[in-house]
Amino acid sequence: MIRHLLSIKDLDPEGIERVLATAATFQADGPRIMRKYPTLRGKTVVNLFYEASTRTRTSFELAAKRLSADVVNFSVSGSAVEKGESLKDTAQTIEAMGVDAIVIRHSSSGAPNRLAGWVSASVINAGDGMHEHPTQALLDLYTIRQHFGSFSGLRVAIVGDIAHSRVARSNVWGLQMMGADVTLVGPPTLLPPRVEGWGVETTADIEAVLPKADVVYLLRMQLERGTGATVPTLREYSRLWGLDAARATLLKDEALIMHPGPMNRGVEITADAAELPRSVITDQVANGVAVRMALLYLMLGGRDAREEVPVE
């Protein structure tokens, strides 16, 4: 298995399959994992979060604890980045304490890449700037596979602020690797620069895309103001690119609605659309724990999960 997970591209399709299959074994008794496994007893995982995050940090913490690892949460406020210890010094401090994995969330793209160069522990990217969020992509792939069984030929529409989204980047590369077709939907101001090189289709017309999509994936929209604003108002964005229940009727019966959370209800998705039966947004959260367990298990433990015997 890989030593670091900095980008979803660090995995190949077989590696992704292995993570998803391992996650499935942890969910063999149901989507909520109640059991605890002894595999990572004696291992230490540090959650190094330079950005506030509740769901991702909690998900990693639960995943590590259910594998019996010791978990240390190392939260750094934004101001400490500016005036406090440098990332390199922090890395070396943590390294000196003897840890096996560092899960890092950081507002700077590439911070996990830099960290990986300074420590011998495994580094797992829990979201860096606008770069990647590979474990989010893994749990999204897992969720999609739960429903469709495979990825080949699936059409996935990712809607919204792709330019600034680490979730979008990891999902695009991951979905492409697994054989799905990706369409990016939004105004050109929200598409990444030089998107021609991404190997995806792009369109501003969500209603033309929805009838063909197997998955519609809505990204969290944030409003920037002033001359750098990417859309005039959130109201206009919502009207033109948001998903409400009426627009959702354009979807095929078996199509899924996904969102990485946290949702801006009423902006990229309305409450009624988020609560449609085809919405798997809460499944994504549940699956996140299993997928992160699988990843920690494979990166730090490494045996076949089917041989594991729960301790509780």
Partner 1 sequence: MSKAVVFRGARVVDPASGRDETADVRIEGEQITDIGKISTNHAEEIDCAGLILAPGFVDLHAHLREPGREDAETVATGTRAAARGGYTAVCAMANTDPVADSAAIVEQVVALGRAAGLADVYPVGAISVGLQGEQLAELGEMATSSARVNFFSDDGKCVQSAGLMRRALEYARAFDAVIANHAEEGALASGGHMNESEVSSILGIAGIPAEAEEVIVARDLALAKLTGARLHVPHVSTAGTVELIRAAKARGVRVTAEATPHHLALTDDLVSGYDPVYKVAPPLRTRDDVDAVRKGLADGTIDCVATDHAPHPPEDKEREFDLAPCGMLNLETALGVVVTELLDPGLLGWLRLIEAMSTAPARARGLDGHGGPIAPGTPANLVVFDPATAWIVEPEKLASKSKNTPFAGRTLKGKVVHTMLRGRFTVREGSDADGQR
Q: What are phi and psi of 298, to 5 degrees?
A: -70, -35
Residues in CB range of 105: below 8 A, 6 or more apart? 48, 49, 50, 51, 53, 56, 57, 126, 127, 128
Would you say 213 and 255 are in contact if contact means Cβ atoms under 8 Å apart?
A: yes
In terms of CB distance, is 31 or 84 closer to partner 1? Answer: 84
In terms of CB distance, is 44 or 171 closer to partner 1? Answer: 171
Site string for partner 1, 201-230 (x = CB under 8 A): --------------------------xx--
> From the list 51, 61, 100, 132, which residue makes contact with partner 1 (rule: CB under 8 A)?
132
Residue 243 CA to residue 240 CA, distance in Å, equals 9
Report the nearest approach of partner 1 to the CB of residue 78 (Å): 12
Of 225-254, binders to partner 1 (CB under 8 A) are 227-228
> From the list 66, 105, 131, 220, which residue makes contact with partner 1 (rule: CB under 8 A)?
131
Residue 198 as a binder of partner 1 (CB under 8 A): the answer is: yes
Residue 277 CA to residue 121 CA, distance in Å, equals 42
Residue 248 CA to residue 216 CA, distance in Å, equals 9
User: Which tokens go with 213?
Assistant: 């999509």
Report the nearest approach of partner 1 to the CB of residue 108 (Å): 4
Which residues does residue 215 pair with via DSSP β-bridges, in sequence order? 156, 256
Residue 59 CA to residue 76 CA, distance in Å, equals 18
Q: How many residues bind partner 1 (CB under 8 A)?
A: 26
Residue 110 as a binder of partner 1 (CB under 8 A): the answer is: yes
Residue 192 as a binder of partner 1 (CB under 8 A): the answer is: yes
Of 139-168, binders to partner 1 (CB under 8 A) are 166
Residue 62 as a binder of partner 1 (CB under 8 A): the answer is: no
Residue 248 CA to residue 255 CA, distance in Å, equals 10
Residue 68 as a binder of partner 1 (CB under 8 A): the answer is: no
Report the nearest approach of partner 1 to the CB of residue 217 (Å): 18
- Starting at the earlier edge strand, list the strands of the sheet with 181-185: 201-203, 181-185, 155-159, 215-218, 256-258
In terms of CB distance, is 69 or 87 closer to partner 1? Answer: 87
> From the list 32, 83, 194, 225, which residue makes contact with partner 1 (rule: CB under 8 A)?
194
Residue 128 as a binder of partner 1 (CB under 8 A): the answer is: yes
Of 27-46, binders to partner 1 (CB under 8 A) are none
Residues in CB range of 277: below 8 A, 6 or more apart? none
Residue 269 CA to residue 221 CA, distance in Å, equals 10
Name which of 149, 153, 131, 132 is nearest 141 in CA terms: 149
Of 75-104, binders to partner 1 (CB under 8 A) are 81, 86-88
Q: What are phi and psi of 128, to 5 degrees?
A: -130, 110
Residue 49 as a binder of partner 1 (CB under 8 A): the answer is: no
Report the nearest approach of partner 1 to the CB of residue 154 (Å): 23
Which residues does residue 158 pair with via DSSP β-bridges, in sequence order? 184, 217
Could you list the active site residues? 55-56, 83, 105, 133
Report the nearest approach of partner 1 to the CB of residue 143 (Å): 23
Residues of the shown chain interacting with partner 1 in the complex, contacts defined by CB under 8 A: 81, 86-88, 106, 108-111, 113-114, 128-132, 166, 169, 192-195, 197-198, 227-228
